[in-house]
């Protein structure tokens, strides 16, 4: 039988071990699927990233990105004949992305911004969060039963995938070089705490911002 000390050490090791990237991605997709299990999730291939499954803040952020990619794929499967389902999934996507972005800014980008070599990376990521906010508010104000809704959603999808692709392949890579292992662990904790609070308080902004 394992001693209490051995069990504690094992638990600690499990928490700090790298998770299999494929399993990490599948778990994130399954979380999204729980909102509408009847829909197919075709997320396709995702850009290669070394962070998927990592026990630090970057692995946690990629886990969210995968969940958001799955929600996008599910929203694309919705029809104008079922606007309630489309609205439910879209509002979940908005609350997820808003709270992820706010917590990411507080846990990661605020620190990365203070380091001169990565100030521009952090600024770029934060500016794109604002662009995503505007696109989400615009779509939330539009008629979910309109046949043109998904066409507009395609623009948000493109912007979102561009944003997370750049984070995973460029900005996280640059930021990692200036952060210590303990920074990365601590940031994960801050992210978890802040995202929970931000999501609980998240509101759906509805405002037409784009011209037809
Ligand atoms: Fe992110
Ligand atoms: Fe971001």
pTM for the model: 0.92
d(CA 86, CA 27): 22
d(CA 181, CA 157): 33
pLDDT per residue as tens digits for the range 14-54: 556 899 999 999 999 999 999 999 999 999 899 999 999 99
d(CA 194, CA 191): 5
Burial of 44 (0-12, 13-18, 19+ CB in 10 A): exposed
Ligand 1 centroid – CA 165 distance (Å): 9
pLDDT band at 211 (very low <50, low <70, confident <90, very high): confident
Ligand 1 centroid – CA 3 distance (Å): 40
Ion ligand 1: residues, CB < 5 A: 61, 104, 167
Ligand 2 centroid – CA 97 distance (Å): 8
pLDDT per residue as tens digits for the range 159-182: 999 999 999 999 999 999 999 999
Calculate the dihedral angle through the C-alpha atoms of 190, 192, 98, 63, rounding to the nearest 10 degrees. Answer: 120
């Amino acid at each position: 039988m394992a001693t209490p000390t051995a069990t504690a050490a094992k638990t600690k090791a499990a928490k700090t071990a790298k998770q299999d990237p494929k399993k990490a991605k599948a778990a994130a997709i399954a979380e999204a699927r729980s909102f509408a299990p009847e829909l197919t999730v075709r997320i396709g291939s995702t850009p290669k990233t070394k962070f998927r499954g990592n026990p630090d803040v970057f692995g946690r952020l990629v886990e969210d990105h995968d969940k958001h990619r799955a929600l996008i794929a599910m929203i694309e499967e919705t029809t104008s004949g079922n606007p309630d389902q489309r609205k439910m999934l879209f509002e979940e996507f908005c609350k997820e992305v808003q709270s992820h972005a706010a917590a990411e800014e507080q846990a990661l980008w605020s620190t990365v911004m203070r380091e001169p070599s990565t100030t521009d990376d952090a600024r770029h990521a934060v500016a794109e969060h604002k662009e995503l906010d505007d696109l989400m508010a615009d779509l939330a104000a539009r008629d979910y039963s309109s046949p043109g809704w998904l066409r507009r959603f395609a623009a948000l999808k493109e912007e979102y995938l561009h944003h997370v692709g750049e984070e995973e392949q460029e900005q996280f890579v640059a930021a990692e070089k200036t952060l210590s292992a303990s920074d990365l662990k601590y940031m994960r904790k801050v992210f978890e705490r802040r995202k929970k609070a931000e999501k609980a308080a998240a509101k759906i902004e509805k405002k037409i911002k784009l011209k037809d």
